[in-house]
Amino acid sequence: MAAALTPPSFWLATCGDDLTPRPPLGANVQCDVAIVGAGYTGLWTAYHLTRIDPALRVVVVEREIAGWGASGRNGGWCSALFAASWQRVAAQHGMDGVLRLRRALERTVDDVGDWCRQHAVDAHFAKGGTLTLARGAAQVARERSSVNSDQRYGGTDTKRLDSTQARARLAAAGVDGAAFTPHCAAVQPARLVRGLARVVEAAGVRIHERTPASAIESGLVRTPNGTVRAEVVVRATEGYTCELRGEERTLIPLWSLVLATEPLPAPVWEQLGWRARETVTDGRHLLVYAQRTADDRIVLGGRGAPYRFRSGTAGAAGHRRTHERLEHELRALFPAAADATITHRWGGVLGVPRDWMPSVGYDRSRGIAWAGGYVGDGVGCSALAGRTLADLITGQETDETTLPWVGHRWSRWEPEPVRWLGVRGMTAAMAVADRRERRTGRPSRLAGLLDRVVDG
Ligand X SMILES: Cc1cc2nc3c(=O)[nH]c(=O)nc-3n(C[C@H](O)[C@H](O)[C@H](O)COP(=O)(O)OP(=O)(O)OC[C@H]3O[C@@H](n4cnc5c(N)ncnc54)[C@H](O)[C@@H]3O)c2cc1C
Residue among 22, 48, 73, 345 that touches ligand X (CB under 6 A)? 73
Rounded to the nearest 5 percent, the helix, strand and coil shares of the chain are: 40, 25, 40
Residue among 7, 21, 24, 37 that touches ligand X (CB under 6 A)? 37
- Establish if 248 lies at the interface with ligand X (CB under 6 A): no
Residue among 10, 11, 47, 68 that touches ligand X (CB under 6 A)? 68
Q: How far apart are CA 37 and CA 203, in angstroms?
A: 18
Do 232 and 33 contact (CB within 8 A), yes or no? Answer: yes
Binding mask 373-412 for ligand X (x = CB under 6 A): -x-xxxxx-x------------------------------
Least distance (Å) between residue 309 CB and ligand X: 19
- Establish if 71 lies at the interface with ligand X (CB under 6 A): yes
Question: How many residues does this entry show for the chain?
Answer: 456
Q: How many residues bind ligand X (CB under 6 A)?
A: 46
Cα separations (Å) of 84 from 175, 262, 313? Answer: 27, 35, 23
Residue among 47, 125, 240, 362 that touches ligand X (CB under 6 A)? 240
Least distance (Å) between residue 256 CB and ligand X: 4
- Establish if 129 lies at the interface with ligand X (CB under 6 A): no
Q: How far apart are CA 23 and CA 413, in angstroms?
A: 36
Least distance (Å) between residue 347 CB and ligand X: 6
- Three-class SS of residue 349? strand
Residues 269-298 that bind ligand X (CB under 6 A): 289
Handedness of CA 30, 33, 37, 43 (dihedral sign): negative
- Establish if 127 lies at the interface with ligand X (CB under 6 A): no
In the bound state with ligand X, the residue whose beta carbon lies nearer, of 137 and 342, is: 342
Helix intervals (H) in 53-188: 86-118, 137-152, 163-169
Least distance (Å) between residue 205 CB and ligand X: 15
Do 400 and 388 contact (CB within 8 A), yes or no? Answer: yes
Q: How far apart are CA 29 and CA 146, in angstroms?
A: 51
Under 8 Å CB-to-CB from 37, ≥6 apart: which residues?
60, 62, 63, 69, 235, 236, 237, 238, 240
Residue among 8, 21, 24, 76 that touches ligand X (CB under 6 A)? 76
Q: How far apart are CA 215 and CA 425, in angstroms?
A: 32
Q: Between helices 86-118 and 378-393, what is the axis angle to 10°? A: 80
Least distance (Å) between residue 270 CB and ligand X: 26
Do 370 and 234 contact (CB within 8 A), yes or no? Answer: yes
In the bound state with ligand X, the residue whose beta carbon lies nearer, of 17 and 62, is: 62
Q: Stretches 46-54, 159-167, 175-183, 345-353: which one binds ligand X (CB under 6 A)?
A: 345-353
Q: Which phi and psi (to 5°) does residue 217 adopt?
A: -130, 175
Least distance (Å) between residue 241 CB and ligand X: 7
- Establish if 258 lies at the interface with ligand X (CB under 6 A): yes
- Establish if 128 lies at the interface with ligand X (CB under 6 A): no
In the bound state with ligand X, the residue whose beta carbon lies nearer, of 136 and 373, is: 373
Residues 203-232 that bind ligand X (CB under 6 A): 212-213
What residues make contact with ligand X under the rule CB under 6 A? 36-42, 61-64, 68-71, 73-77, 79, 212-213, 236-240, 243-244, 256, 258, 289, 301, 347-350, 372, 374, 376-380, 382
